Structure 1
Amino acid sequence: MAETNKLSVEKALQKLLRDEPVETASEQRDERAEALREEIKRMRAQRSRLERSPGKGK
């Protein structure tokens, strides 16, 4: 049988975390800003649809 190398949980986690790309603060800020822009776009579209509707519920 082939021999397998066993890692401790701590070492395995360290290896996984080391392999993941680290986002800089500016990248995180850019992602958050993009998410907010998408939310604003969605809300404007929703408002536009509501304003065009023929006054239901008034």
Structure 2
Amino acid sequence: MAEINKLSVGKVLAKLRSNDAPKPSKTAQLDEKIRAADEEIQRLRAATRRLKPTFKKPPAAR
């Protein structure tokens, strides 16, 4: 008679979960890095605009 290999519930769940969550592809990883860099650039540009002095013309004398 053939032997039956029994696995614990924890091991079965770990195997099922590992199959459900594949590693992101190289392209997906690069896309995430690019998105993060774009957000940082936008944040820095906003900070630069906020900190730049604005030169306004003085009001005209009447």
Q: Structure 2 length normalisation: TM-score?
A: 0.62
Aligned Cα RMSD in Å?
1.9
Q: How does 1:29-40 map to 2 (within 5 A)?
A: 29-40=30-41
Tell me what 1:23 maps to.
24
Q: CA deviation at 1:12?
A: 1.7
Equivalent position amino acid for 2:35 in 1? E
Equivalent position amino acid for 1:47 in 2? T
Could you tell me which runs of 5 or more consecutive residues in structure 1 were left unpaired when the two chains were aligned.
1-5, 54-58
**Quick one: percent identity of the two aligned structures?**
30
Tell me what 1:56 maps to.
none
Name the larger-Rg structure.
Answer: 2
Distance in 2 (alpha carbons) for counterparts of 1:52 and 1:10: 62
Cα deviation per residue 1:6-35 (whole Å; 9 max; x = unaligned)? 61x333222101011431011101111111
Structure 1, 41-50 or 20-29: larger mean CA deviation = 20-29
Distance in 2 (alpha carbons) for counterparts of 1:10 and 1:38: 40
Could you tell me which runs of 5 or more consecutive residues in structure 2 were left unpaired when the two chains were aligned.
1-7, 55-62
Q: Structure 1 length normalisation: TM-score?
A: 0.65
